Amino acid sequence: MAEFHQVDARVGTRTAAIDEGLRAHMNKVYSTMSVGMLLTFAVAWAVGSNPALLGIFRDPATLQPNILGWIVMFAPLIMVFAFGAMINKLSAAGAQLFFYAFAAVMGLSLSWIFVAFTGMSIAQVFLVTSIAFAGLSLWGYTTKKDISAWGSFLIMGVIGLIVAMIVNLFLQSPMIMYVISILGVLIFAGLTAYDTQKIKTTYIQHAAHGDQEWLGKAAIMGALNLYLDFINMFMFLLQLFGSRE
C-alpha cells in the first residue's frame, strides 16, 4: 500500500509539473503572438497613414501595387514557407527574431487598409475578431473532442483560398471575393481551434523529453500559426463588414 501511494504521489507530481509547464508554454505562445500583432499594426498604421511611405508600394489614388508592392504582398507567404524549412536550423532566439521580422513585413503588406477603410470600421472588426478568436482558441484548448482530423481538410481549404485569391487578382470579381471572404472566415475560425489544440497536445507529448530549446521553437511556431489565423480572419471580416473610405 505504501508503494502504491508513492507511485500515486510521483504521478500526481509529474502531472502538476506538466500542467504548470503547459500554462507557461501557452503564455509564451500568446504573448509572442500579441507582440507580433502589435508590431504588424504599428507598421501598417505608420505606413498607411503616411502618403509618402505608402506611395513607395502603391499608387496613393488607386491603391494598386507597384512592383515593390507586389513583392511586399507575396513576401509574407514566402517567409512562412522559409520559416517552416529553416525552423530546425534556427535557435529559439533566431526563430523569435524571424517571427518579428515576418510580422513587420506583414504590416507593410497590410498598410493599404488604413486608406481603403475607415479607422472606426477597422477598430470594430478588430474587436469582433479578437472576441471570436479568444472564444475559438479557448474552445480548442478546453474541448475533450479530438479535432486533429480537421487539419487536412482545413489545409486543403487554405490552398484553395490562395489559388482563388490569385485568380481573382486578375478577374477582380466582387462576387468571387465575397464568397472567398465567407469561406475564409469559416476556414480560419476552424484553424484557430485546431491549432490551439495542436499546440497543447504537442507540448504534452514532448514535455517529458525536457528539450527546452525544442519547446521554445515550438512556442514560436505555435504563435505564428495563431497569428496567421487571427490576421486572416480579421482581413476576411474586414472585406465583408469594413466601411470603405
106-121 pLDDT, tens digit per residue, is 999 999 999 999 999 9
Please report the pLDDT score of residue 55 as a whole number: 93
**pTM for this one?**
0.89
Element (H, E) at 234: helix 212-241
Asked whether 178 and 123 are in contact (CB, 8 A), the reply is no
Residues of the chain with pLDDT under 70: 1-18, 208-210
Which amino acid makes up residue 173? S
Which amino acid makes up residue 28? K
Please report the pLDDT score of residue 7 as a whole number: 46
Please report the pLDDT score of residue 87 as a whole number: 85
Q: At what angle do helices 174-206 and 2-48 cross, to 10 degrees?
A: 150
CA–CA separation, 84 vs 162, rounded Å?
18
Please report the pLDDT score of residue 206 as a whole number: 79
pLDDT tens by residue, 60-103: 888 899 999 999 999 999 999 999 888 888 888 999 999 999 99
Please report how many Cα atoms fall inside a 13 Å half-sphere around the Cα of residue 245, on the Cβ side: 12
Please report the pLDDT score of residue 4 as a whole number: 45
Please report the pLDDT score of residue 40 as a whole number: 97
Please report the pLDDT score of residue 27 as a whole number: 95
Cell numbers found for residue 4: 502504491
Which amino acid makes up residue 56? I
| Residue 62 DSSP symbol | T
Please report the pLDDT score of residue 18 as a whole number: 64
Closest listed residue to residue 242, CA positions, set 109, 119, 60: 119
For the chain, domain boundaries: 2-241
